[in-house]
Amino acid sequence: MLILVLNCGSSSVKYKLYNMENETVLLSGLAERIGLSGARLVQKAAGQEKVTWEMRLADHRTAVEAILRRMGDAGLGVRGEDIAAVGHRVVHGGEAFAASTVVDDAVLQKLEELSQLAPLHNPPNVTGIKICRQLLPHALQVAVFDTAFHQTMPPKAYMYALPYEYYRKYGLRKYGFHGTSHRYVAQRAAQMLGRPLDELKLITCHLGNGSSLCAVKEGRAVDTTMGFTPLSGLVMGTRCGDIDPAVVALLIEKEGLTPGRVSDLLNKQSGVLGVSGLSSDFRDLEQAATAGNRQAQLALDMFVYSVQKWVGAFAAAMGGVDAIVFTAGIGENSPYVRRQVLDGLTWLGLRLDERANCTRGRDAWLTTPDSEVQALVVPTDEELVIARDAAGLLAEHTLMENISITA
Ligand code: ADP
């Protein structure tokens, strides 16, 4: 069974085609600079070299058409009609979606309404779904949300202490993001620990360009660091994380910035980039700090400290913690960051195995046998979760159809 996973951004479409018989990736690719000059499509088929086509991609529809054509040309015998379902990454599901869902007209309308919560991200996601409904009408369209996993948070964790009317009027509350990743690594960590997920207290640390932590108690998210948008919580590559909200008013007043400019400053020029004045990439910062760059060191220290503080907060929120799980670009690949974070957590009874921590990019157990709290590395795989959810909903859908035919 073939499942296509699609991630439609404002000017790009990322895709992966899975054979779900054995969960292998047949093809992956990226159409970028859609609607701009220099547009191109890059595709890598299993066992083949990467191929790049420079082409005009006027809009998302042209891009998806080109993707389907190039998939067919890859020599793997893939035809559009063989794609049984398309799993779409959708950033925001608001309060309406606590799980992945099959897209019908009513769902599509709801998704359009939710665009006000994520005006930059949801509209291209919805566009992708609409195009696939037209180009692959036989395939089941499934939406998988970044926010869904966090919908189990209790109100005391997700409400903001603002006048209640703004929650009613604008849905102003904490939603959380990276949910697909937190869900996947929590499940995988439980397998590695050899214990049922519903008996565990986990803190999953998705540390990448965007970073967030999630407190997963007995398999359910009970708190997370990101909020109404992915700007809050930890110090990030270019995002400021938590700051005193009064700073926003001051920047508008003293610097004469428009709301759009402030948003830009907090999202794109802050975080470790802003503090170091050097880079948002942790490889650059680790190198510069080793060479004595004090601002780079300060940026790294602030990042590590923010992770440690939230681990402490989430251990308190759950009444303890069994394991801390690292994932995403930094979490999977930076022994330095993991050591710095974990060295500050010995009070939890956590004992780091220095040698085990040298690992990069694969499942690993980082703590010594006598450690009371475990630390693990689990490489995330959001696309695989999307493909699995699409396959699961397809199986349910097919079963329901068969039942109604029999009846
Ligand atoms: P995104 O949030 O865009 O998906 P990733 O999860 O791919 O980002 O993380 C990207 C970040 O991971 C890079 O900015 C870089 O800082 C960090 N990273 C990748 N490899 C390493 C490494 N070997 N050491 C330290 N940091 C790394």
- Tokens representing residue 296 in the block: 């780079």
> For the chain, what is the domain count?
2
- For residues 368 and 219, membership in a common domain is answered with yes
Range of the domain at 90: 2-145
- For residues 219 and 76, membership in a common domain is answered with no
* Residue 310 resides in a domain: yes
Residue 315 CA, ligand 1 centroid: distance in Å: 26
* Residue 163 resides in a domain: no
- Dist CA 208 CA 337 (whole Å): 12
Q: Are 214 and 353 in contact (CB under 8 A)?
A: no
Distance of CA 307 to the CA centre of its chain: 17
- For residues 375 and 245, membership in a common domain is answered with yes
* Residue 405 resides in a domain: no
- Dist CA 185 CA 135 (whole Å): 33
- Dist CA 214 CA 185 (whole Å): 11
- For residues 85 and 228, membership in a common domain is answered with no
- For residues 42 and 119, membership in a common domain is answered with yes
List of residues 6+ apart from 407 with CB closer than 8 A: none
List of residues 6+ apart from 188 with CB closer than 8 A: 363, 378
- For residues 214 and 362, membership in a common domain is answered with yes
Pocket perturbation via mutation, ligand 1, pick of 211, 278, 281 by most ligand atoms within 8 A of CB = 281
Which residue's CA lies nearest to atom 14 of ligand 1?
A: 281
Work out the number of other CB atoms within 10 angstroms of the CB of residue 289.
Answer: 21
Q: Are 131 and 103 in contact (CB under 8 A)?
A: no
Q: Are 140 and 84 in contact (CB under 8 A)?
A: yes
Q: In the prediction, which pLDDT does 407 show?
A: 72
104 is catalytic: no
Residue at token pair 């035809």: 79
Residue 334 CA, ligand 1 centroid: distance in Å: 8
- For residues 223 and 361, membership in a common domain is answered with yes
- For residues 230 and 331, membership in a common domain is answered with yes
- Dist CA 276 CA 293 (whole Å): 9
- For residues 252 and 325, membership in a common domain is answered with yes
Catalytic one of 59, 104, 146, 370: 146
- For residues 346 and 245, membership in a common domain is answered with yes
Residue 31's closest CA among 63, 70, 69, 74? 63
Q: Are 227 and 214 in contact (CB under 8 A)?
A: no
Element at 304 (helix H, strand E): helix 294-318
Report the predicted TM-score, pTM, of the whole model to 2 decimal places: 0.95
Domain-terminating residue out of 145, 178, 210: 145
- For residues 107 and 220, membership in a common domain is answered with no
Q: In the prediction, which pLDDT does 75 show?
A: 85
Ligand 1 atom with the shortest distance to the CA of 210 = 2
Q: Are 2 and 18 in contact (CB under 8 A)?
A: yes
- For residues 217 and 70, membership in a common domain is answered with no
Residue 329, by phi and psi: left (phi above 0), alpha (psi -120 to 50) or beta?
alpha
* Residue 340 resides in a domain: yes
Specify the amino acid at residue 255.
E
* Residue 270 resides in a domain: yes
* Residue 309 resides in a domain: yes
CA dihedral 3, 8, 11, 12 (to 10 degrees): -30
Which residue's CA lies nearest to atom 13 of ligand 1?
A: 281
pLDDT tens per residue, the chain (407 residues)?
999 999 999 999 999 999 999 999 999 999 999 999 999 999 999 999 999 999 999 999 999 999 999 998 888 888 889 999 999 999 999 999 999 999 999 999 999 999 988 888 899 999 999 999 999 999 999 999 999 999 999 999 999 999 999 999 999 999 999 999 999 999 999 999 999 999 999 999 999 999 999 999 999 999 999 999 999 999 999 999 999 999 999 999 999 999 999 999 999 999 999 999 999 999 999 999 999 999 999 999 999 999 999 999 999 999 999 999 999 999 999 999 999 999 999 999 999 999 999 999 899 999 999 999 999 999 999 999 999 999 999 999 988 888 877 77
CATH number at residue 71: 3.30.420.40
* Residue 317 resides in a domain: yes
* Residue 389 resides in a domain: no
